[in-house]
Amino acid sequence: MNYTMKEIPESQRPYEKCVREGESVLSDGELLAVILRCGTRGANSLALANEILNYMEQTSYPGLLGLLHSSVSELKKIHGIGTVKAVQLKCIGELSKRIAGTAAKASLDFHSPDSIAAYYMERLRHQEQELMICMMLDNQNHLLGDSVISKGTVNATLITPREVYLEALRYHAVNLILIHNHPGGNPAPSRCDTEITERVRQAGEMLGICLLDHIIIGDHRYISFREEGLLEKEPEECPE
């Protein structure tokens, strides 16, 4: 029987449990139930939350991770989820990424590839396409801004030095760091990654703008061209 929330013992209600014991004791379903606040006809918020999680188990991204990879239209396929609740769920995922990025920003050090990877990890590791981001820095390595300069396919991000340096000149940047993701989770650079990096580095030398690093984000892993000594290596030919 699907009880209403008032019919569930107070000790088992997610909201009251959170007030009494703290949010860390709540299950994933209970956390979702608190955020959703209300259920739908025939299902209280806890039942609806569990229905969402059950639906995610049938996808390629089970559990809460599925919220990041499901569109509003896909979420609306779940019984009891309309546009309002689907938007709520998408905003939960976006909020979690921004919280992670804000926490990592406090320790962001442009001399440390590890801290840069941590800053972009949650933003990029869930992407299903390759994104290329350019970080623009001044002569004291203060961040002037960052921009997505390319959205590629799941196999390649196609950029040219012209696109990179038009953005760099707009910010009056002196130094650059490139960051992009590999949707497959393996951050090992491809031949094209190496070729593109070398083209950008050479173009920067002519313009007096230094490419400090190119960091590839995988799933909780990263590769730094600077750390690996790849900025000094001769690139292999990139196939058309």
Q: Out of 18-22, 85-89, 123-127, 187-191, pick the least confident.
A: 123-127
DSSP for 89-128, written as a single string: HHHHHHHHHHHHHHHHHTT--TT-HHHHHHHHHHHHTT-S
126-142: per-residue pLDDT in tens?
888 899 999 999 988 88
Phi, psi for 146 (deg, rounded to 5):
-135, 150
Which is higher by pLDDT, 208 or 39? Answer: 208
> Does the pLDDT value for residue 206 go beyond 70?
yes
37-58: per-residue pLDDT in tens?
888 877 888 889 999 999 989 8
pLDDT at position 21, please? Answer: 92
pTM score over 0.75: no
pLDDT at position 106, please? Answer: 66
129-176: per-residue pLDDT in tens?
899 999 999 988 888 989 998 887 644 456 788 889 999 999 999 999
pLDDT at position 153, please? Answer: 63
Sheet with 222-224, edge to edge strand ranges: 143-151, 131-137, 175-181, 210-217, 222-224
What Å distances lie between residue 182 and 129, 179, 215, 223, CA to CA? 8, 10, 11, 11
77-94: per-residue pLDDT in tens?
998 899 999 999 999 888
> Does the pLDDT value for residue 1 go beyond 50?
no
pLDDT at position 235, please? Answer: 41
Q: At what angle do helices 14-21 and 28-36 cross, to 10 degrees?
A: 110
Give the mean model confidence (pLDDT) for residues 188-202.
91
Q: Are 89 and 81 in contact (CB under 8 A)?
A: yes
